[in-house]
Protein backbone atom coordinates (compact mmCIF):
# COMPACT_ATOMS: atom_id res chain seq x y z
CA UNK A 1 0.00 0.00 0.00
CA UNK A 2 1.27 3.41 -0.96
CA UNK A 3 0.20 7.01 -0.86
CA UNK A 4 -0.03 8.36 -4.40
CA UNK A 5 0.08 11.91 -5.76
CA UNK A 6 -3.37 13.39 -6.34
CA UNK A 7 -3.74 15.16 -9.69
CA UNK A 8 -4.92 18.78 -9.42
CA UNK A 9 -6.56 21.15 -11.90
CA UNK A 10 -3.84 23.80 -11.69
CA UNK A 11 -1.49 21.54 -13.69
CA UNK A 12 -2.37 21.33 -17.42
CA UNK A 13 -1.09 17.74 -17.75
CA UNK A 14 -3.07 16.66 -14.67
CA UNK A 15 -6.20 18.42 -15.93
CA UNK A 16 -5.92 16.62 -19.30
CA UNK A 17 -5.93 13.27 -17.46
CA UNK A 18 -8.77 14.31 -15.12
CA UNK A 19 -10.95 15.14 -18.17
CA UNK A 20 -10.58 11.63 -19.66
CA UNK A 21 -13.24 8.93 -19.44
CA UNK A 22 -12.08 5.91 -17.44
CA UNK A 23 -12.34 2.37 -18.81
CA UNK A 24 -14.42 -0.41 -17.23
CA UNK A 25 -12.68 -3.02 -15.11
CA UNK A 26 -12.93 -6.50 -16.64
CA UNK A 27 -12.36 -8.42 -13.40
CA UNK A 28 -11.81 -7.41 -9.77
CA UNK A 29 -8.48 -9.13 -9.14
CA UNK A 30 -5.53 -8.65 -6.79
CA UNK A 31 -4.13 -5.81 -8.93
CA UNK A 32 -7.42 -3.87 -8.68
CA UNK A 33 -7.64 -4.58 -4.94
CA UNK A 34 -4.04 -3.29 -4.53
CA UNK A 35 -5.03 -0.16 -6.46
CA UNK A 36 -8.04 0.30 -4.14
CA UNK A 37 -5.77 -0.08 -1.09
CA UNK A 38 -3.42 2.61 -2.44
CA UNK A 39 -6.41 4.83 -3.18
CA UNK A 40 -7.80 4.40 0.33
CA UNK A 41 -4.42 5.24 1.92
CA UNK A 42 -4.12 8.27 -0.38
CA UNK A 43 -7.65 9.45 0.43
CA UNK A 44 -7.15 9.10 4.21
CA UNK A 45 -3.80 10.91 4.00
CA UNK A 46 -5.26 13.86 2.02
CA UNK A 47 -7.72 13.75 3.98
CA UNK A 48 -10.91 13.21 2.01
CA UNK A 49 -14.07 11.11 1.90
CA UNK A 50 -13.94 9.89 -1.71
CA UNK A 51 -11.39 9.27 -4.45
CA UNK A 52 -11.67 8.07 -8.04
CA UNK A 53 -8.78 6.18 -9.64
CA UNK A 54 -8.39 8.86 -12.32
CA UNK A 55 -7.43 11.32 -9.55
CA UNK A 56 -4.19 9.37 -9.10
CA UNK A 57 -3.71 8.95 -12.84
CA UNK A 58 -5.25 5.47 -13.19
CA UNK A 59 -7.96 5.36 -15.86
CA UNK A 60 -9.97 2.51 -14.31
CA UNK A 61 -13.61 2.81 -13.21
CA UNK A 62 -12.72 2.41 -9.53
CA UNK A 63 -13.80 4.53 -6.54
CA UNK A 64 -13.13 4.36 -2.82
CA UNK A 65 -14.94 6.33 -0.16
CA UNK A 66 -15.37 6.48 3.59
CA UNK A 67 -18.10 8.70 4.99
CA UNK A 68 -17.33 7.71 8.60
CA UNK A 69 -20.80 6.21 8.89
CA UNK A 70 -19.91 2.70 10.02
CA UNK A 71 -21.76 0.87 12.77
CA UNK A 72 -20.72 1.53 16.35
CA UNK A 73 -18.49 -1.37 17.49
CA UNK A 74 -19.95 -3.65 20.16
CA UNK A 75 -19.18 -2.28 23.61
CA UNK A 76 -18.18 1.14 22.28
CA UNK A 77 -19.53 4.20 24.01
CA UNK A 78 -22.14 6.15 22.05
CA UNK A 79 -21.14 9.71 21.10
CA UNK A 80 -22.27 12.60 23.28
CA UNK A 81 -25.51 14.39 22.43
CA UNK A 82 -25.10 16.43 19.23
CA UNK A 83 -21.72 14.86 18.46
CA UNK A 84 -21.35 13.06 15.16
CA UNK A 85 -19.80 9.60 15.40
CA UNK A 86 -16.92 9.04 12.96
CA UNK A 87 -16.72 5.28 12.56
CA UNK A 88 -14.61 4.11 9.59
CA UNK A 89 -16.66 2.45 6.85
CA UNK A 90 -14.54 2.09 3.70
CA UNK A 91 -16.49 1.43 0.50
CA UNK A 92 -14.97 -0.09 -2.62
CA UNK A 93 -16.86 0.62 -5.84
CA UNK A 94 -15.96 -0.79 -9.26
CA UNK A 95 -17.77 0.06 -12.52
CA UNK A 96 -20.37 2.27 -10.80
CA UNK A 97 -23.55 3.20 -12.59
CA UNK A 98 -26.77 5.03 -11.80
CA UNK A 99 -29.86 2.99 -12.70
CA UNK A 100 -32.42 5.59 -11.61
CA UNK A 101 -32.39 9.12 -10.19
CA UNK A 102 -35.14 10.94 -8.32
CA UNK A 103 -36.68 14.14 -9.68
CA UNK A 104 -36.19 15.60 -6.21
CA UNK A 105 -32.83 17.34 -5.90
CA UNK A 106 -30.42 18.02 -3.08
CA UNK A 107 -27.93 20.90 -2.82
CA UNK A 108 -24.65 20.19 -1.08
CA UNK A 109 -21.47 22.21 -0.72
CA UNK A 110 -18.92 19.97 -2.44
CA UNK A 111 -15.17 19.98 -2.37
CA UNK A 112 -12.63 17.85 -4.22
CA UNK A 113 -9.10 16.66 -3.58
CA UNK A 114 -8.23 17.60 -7.17
CA UNK A 115 -9.58 21.13 -6.59
CA UNK A 116 -7.87 21.97 -3.28
CA UNK A 117 -9.50 24.34 -0.83
CA UNK A 118 -12.42 25.28 -3.08
CA UNK A 119 -16.03 24.50 -2.14
CA UNK A 120 -19.27 25.34 -3.88
CA UNK A 121 -22.88 24.21 -3.91
CA UNK A 122 -23.90 21.62 -6.49
CA UNK A 123 -27.43 20.41 -7.08
CA UNK A 124 -27.84 16.68 -7.75
CA UNK A 125 -30.63 14.09 -7.55
CA UNK A 126 -31.48 13.49 -3.89
CA UNK A 127 -31.84 9.72 -4.29
CA UNK A 128 -30.32 7.33 -6.79
CA UNK A 129 -30.52 3.61 -7.44
CA UNK A 130 -27.00 2.42 -8.16
CA UNK A 131 -25.14 -0.71 -9.21
CA UNK A 132 -21.47 -1.56 -8.87
CA UNK A 133 -19.04 -4.38 -8.12
CA UNK A 134 -17.65 -4.56 -4.59
CA UNK A 135 -14.11 -5.48 -3.49
CA UNK A 136 -14.86 -9.17 -4.07
CA UNK A 137 -16.32 -8.57 -7.53
CA UNK A 138 -19.93 -9.14 -6.44
CA UNK A 139 -22.63 -7.01 -8.05
CA UNK A 140 -24.42 -4.75 -5.58
CA UNK A 141 -27.60 -2.75 -6.24
CA UNK A 142 -28.90 -0.29 -3.70
CA UNK A 143 -30.89 2.91 -3.36
CA UNK A 144 -28.88 5.64 -1.69
CA UNK A 145 -29.45 9.22 -0.49
CA UNK A 146 -27.84 12.01 1.49
CA UNK A 147 -24.07 12.36 1.59
CA UNK A 148 -23.58 8.84 0.19
CA UNK A 149 -25.59 9.76 -2.94
CA UNK A 150 -23.72 13.06 -3.33
CA UNK A 151 -20.32 11.41 -3.00
CA UNK A 152 -21.25 8.52 -5.31
CA UNK A 153 -22.43 10.90 -8.05
CA UNK A 154 -19.39 13.17 -7.56
CA UNK A 155 -16.96 10.24 -7.95
CA UNK A 156 -18.91 8.78 -10.89
CA UNK A 157 -18.57 12.18 -12.58
CA UNK A 158 -14.78 11.87 -12.18
CA UNK A 159 -14.84 8.54 -14.03
CA UNK A 160 -16.68 10.31 -16.87
CA UNK A 161 -14.16 13.18 -17.05
CA UNK A 162 -16.45 15.64 -15.25
CA UNK A 163 -15.37 17.78 -12.30
CA UNK A 164 -17.83 19.23 -9.78
CA UNK A 165 -16.95 22.74 -10.99
CA UNK A 166 -18.26 21.73 -14.44
CA UNK A 167 -21.73 21.94 -12.84
CA UNK A 168 -21.16 25.62 -11.98
CA UNK A 169 -21.60 28.78 -14.02
CA UNK A 170 -18.62 29.86 -16.13
CA UNK A 171 -17.88 32.72 -13.71
CA UNK A 172 -17.81 30.43 -10.65
CA UNK A 173 -15.76 27.82 -12.55
CA UNK A 174 -13.18 30.47 -13.56
CA UNK A 175 -13.08 31.71 -9.95
CA UNK A 176 -12.39 28.15 -8.77
CA UNK A 177 -9.53 27.72 -11.26
CA UNK A 178 -7.95 31.02 -10.17
CA UNK A 179 -8.26 30.20 -6.48
CA UNK A 180 -6.74 26.73 -6.90
CA UNK A 181 -3.81 28.09 -8.93
CA UNK A 182 -3.14 30.68 -6.21
CA UNK A 183 -3.45 28.05 -3.44
CA UNK A 184 -1.01 25.72 -5.19
CA UNK A 185 1.52 28.55 -5.79
CA UNK A 186 1.38 29.42 -2.08
CA UNK A 187 1.94 25.76 -1.14
CA UNK A 188 4.99 25.60 -3.42
CA UNK A 189 6.42 28.79 -1.91
CA UNK A 190 5.95 27.54 1.67
Task: Give the closest residue to 93 by CA, choosing from 46, 25, 160.
Answer: 25
Strand arrangement of the beta sheet that strand 139-145 belongs to: 50-52, 62-66, 90-101, 127-133, 139-145
* pLDDT at site 135: 98
Could you say which of 77, 121, 138, 155 is catalytic?
155
Provide the CB-side half-sphere exposure for 75 (13 A, CA): 0
* 142 has catalytic annotation: no
Instruction: Calculate what percentage of the chain has a pLDDT beyond 70.
Output: 93
Q: Which residue has the higher pLDDT, 84 or 3?
A: 3
On the question of pLDDT at 76 being above 80, the answer is: no
pLDDT tens digits along 5-51: 999 999 999 999 999 999 999 999 999 999 999 999 999 999 999 99
**What's the CA gap between 102 and 62, in Å, rounded?**
24
**Closest by CA position to 70, among listed 89, 86, 83:** 89
Q: What is the mean pLDDT of residues 88-109?
A: 97
Amino acid sequence: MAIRRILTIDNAADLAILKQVSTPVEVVDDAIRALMDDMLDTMYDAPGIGLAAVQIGELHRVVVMDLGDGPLPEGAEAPAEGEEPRIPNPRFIVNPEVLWASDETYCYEEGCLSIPEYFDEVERPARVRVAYLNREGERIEEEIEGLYAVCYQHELDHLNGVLFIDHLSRLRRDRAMSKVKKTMRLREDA
